[in-house]
Amino acid sequence: MTSPRFVIIGAGLAGAKTAESLRAKGFNGQVTIVGDEEQLPYERPPLSKDYLVGNAARDSLYVHDAEWYSDQRVELRTGIRATRIDRTSRRVELSDGAGLGYDKLLLATGASPRLLPDTAGVHYLRRIEDSDRLKRLFTTAASLIVVGGGWIGLEAAAAARQAGLAATVVEALELPLLPALGRDVATVFADLHRQHGVDLRLGIQVEHVGNDGQGTRVRLADGSVLEADAVVAGIGAVPNTGLAEACGLRVDNGVVVDANLRTSDPDIFAAGDVASVYHPLLGRHLRVEHWASALKQPAAAAASMLDKDEAYDELPYFYTDQYDLGMEFLGTIDGHDRVVFRGDLPGREFIAFWLKNNRVRAGMNVNIWDVTGPIKALIRAGRPVHPDRLADPGIPLDQVATA
């Protein structure tokens, strides 16, 4: 009898970690990872952080070195796209004309940058090659325009300023990071970038981007024109759901999966940026485009592929490093009615808590470390807290709940 084959489509962090988890959980069958990039599976956060500013070597990005895959008997097919999934015959067709039969299949196809209508002279930041191009640009250019005031856009602007470039951020909303953090905390990041010399153009749309070979011009909705050596766009990402849609899986802002990472087909699973996962604590589906999901969801996905019951119930988590500000975020701000600050807000050493009905929904520690455990405990407990005690750094976080 042939041994079972588990196929993973997507050779990023989620794909590599699922293969690792399968072996750690005792699966001895065939494991094949298929990815359209030529690189070994790597982690993406450094592409807009340490790697972009020159503080991390390329080798440090890889999830595992090449020997790990051979040692673990994981077949890695890079530079090849999966073009079709035949659920009836349990077969994946590949761009090189080959096909792979599968017993269980994981979709870890990630997401792609949302594109501007005008792409001439526009850079995006998703792959190693994108970060490499920007690093080279930083050595020759004097100015950069960033379209989009989300995490990628602000990290790119910070990297550009650290490299000595003039940087302008154009954001359609009135504050950067407004959907992610709300007004009270988004203001912190707006002030941070202004203090580091970034020109923030807020509450205005981009109408056109043009490149004449000598530089790039960005025309805004108010008729003004910005000029720079290059433009970076960070206006969000779109989940790569094409394969899932074509084979009839349920898709709704990502591939819809249950808490065990199983899709509407019991033999197909999804993890990482592409997966819209039912969260048992929050009681709804979430698609979280952050490193922690790709790192931690694979353990639950691998367990489910092995017919074990292991729900994924980690709280959404992300982090950023911009200039001298480092932070970690846990939870979700949806429906919050109040923000409580604990610590030195002007000095950017504080914890912010988002509350709903005096229950902590999310927490963000800025330049304060080793507190994610207590923050997570407050969110998970769901008990009402005293806002004044929560704001007092002298009161331990495990003593802020009401009786």
Q: Do 221 and 242 meet the contact criterion of CB atoms below 8 Å apart?
A: no
| Separation CA 13–CA 42 (nearest Å) | 6
Q: Are residues 161 and 214 in the same domain?
A: yes
SS3 of 115, please? coil
Q: Is residue 128 part of a domain?
A: yes
Q: What integer best gives the mean pLDDT of the chain?
A: 95
pLDDT for 215 equals 74
Q: Is 245 exposed, middle or buried (0-12, 13-18, 19+ CB in 10 A)?
A: exposed
pLDDT for 102 equals 97
- Is the per-residue pLDDT at 170 higher than 60? yes
Domain that holds residue 67: 5-112+237-305
- Is the per-residue pLDDT at 2 higher than 90? no
| Separation CA 200–CA 149 (nearest Å) | 9
Q: Are residues 95 and 174 in the same domain?
A: no
Q: Is residue 38 part of a domain?
A: yes
CA 374 to centroid of chain Cα atoms: 24
| Separation CA 112–CA 37 (nearest Å) | 13
Confidence of residue 267 (pLDDT cuts 50, 70, 90): very high
pTM of the predicted model, to two decimals? 0.94
- Bridge partners of 342, per DSSP, are 351
134-143: average pLDDT: 94
Confidence of residue 19 (pLDDT cuts 50, 70, 90): very high
Q: Do 315 and 376 meet the contact criterion of CB atoms below 8 Å apart?
A: yes
Q: Is residue 35 part of a domain?
A: yes
Q: Do 227 and 192 meet the contact criterion of CB atoms below 8 Å apart?
A: no
Q: Are residues 229 and 147 in the same domain?
A: yes
- Is the per-residue pLDDT at 23 higher than 60? yes
Q: Is residue 313 part of a domain?
A: no
Sort strands 325-331 and 317-322 into parallel, antiparallel or unpaired.
Answer: antiparallel
Q: Are residues 332 and 384 in the same domain?
A: yes
Q: Do 321 and 315 meet the contact criterion of CB atoms below 8 Å apart?
A: no
CATH code where residue 259 lies: 3.50.50.60
- Is the per-residue pLDDT at 131 higher than 60? yes
pLDDT for 210 equals 84
Give the pair of three-digit tokens for residue 209: 């981007």
Phi/psi of residue 25, nearest 5 degrees: -90, 10
Lowest pLDDT segment from 8-12, 175-179, 279-283: 279-283
Q: Is residue 318 part of a domain?
A: no
CATH code where residue 379 lies: 3.30.390.30
Confidence of residue 403 (pLDDT cuts 50, 70, 90): low
25-39: average pLDDT: 97
Distance in angstroms between the alpha carbons of the first and the last residue of the chain: 62
Looking at 305, 340, 362, the residue that finishes a domain is: 305
SS3 content of the chain, % helix, strand, coil (to 5): 25, 35, 40
pLDDT for 317 equals 95
Q: Are residues 299 and 328 in the same domain?
A: no
SS3 of 122, please? strand
In the chain, % of residues over pLDDT 90: 92
Confidence of residue 214 (pLDDT cuts 50, 70, 90): low
Confidence of residue 120 (pLDDT cuts 50, 70, 90): low
169 Rama sector, left if φ>0, alpha if ψ -120 to 50, beta otherwise: beta
12-19: average pLDDT: 98
CA 192 to centroid of chain Cα atoms: 22
335-352: average pLDDT: 96
284-313: average pLDDT: 95
| Separation CA 237–CA 273 (nearest Å) | 9
- Is the per-residue pLDDT at 252 higher than 70? yes
Q: Are residues 154 and 224 in the same domain?
A: yes
Confidence of residue 117 (pLDDT cuts 50, 70, 90): confident
- Is the per-residue pLDDT at 60 higher than 70? yes
- Is the per-residue pLDDT at 179 higher than 90? yes
- Is the per-residue pLDDT at 1 higher than 60? no
Q: Are residues 190 and 280 in the same domain?
A: no
Q: Do 130 and 124 meet the contact criterion of CB atoms below 8 Å apart?
A: yes
Q: Do 393 and 402 meet the contact criterion of CB atoms below 8 Å apart?
A: no
Q: Are residues 128 and 229 in the same domain?
A: yes
Q: Are residues 273 and 179 in the same domain?
A: no
Residues 6+ apart with CB under 8 A from 192: 322, 323, 325, 348
pLDDT for 21 equals 98
Total structural domains within the chain? 3
In the chain, % of residues over pLDDT 70: 98
314-342: average pLDDT: 96
| Separation CA 351–CA 333 (nearest Å) | 14
Within 196-236, strands assigned E span: 199-202, 206-211, 216-220, 225-228, 230-233
CA 225 to centroid of chain Cα atoms: 31
Phi/psi of residue 249, nearest 5 degrees: -75, 155
pLDDT for 213 equals 67
Residues 6+ apart with CB under 8 A from 235: 113, 114, 116, 147, 148, 150, 153
182-199: average pLDDT: 97
Q: Name which of 96, 66, 78, 83 is nearest 37 in CA terms.
A: 78
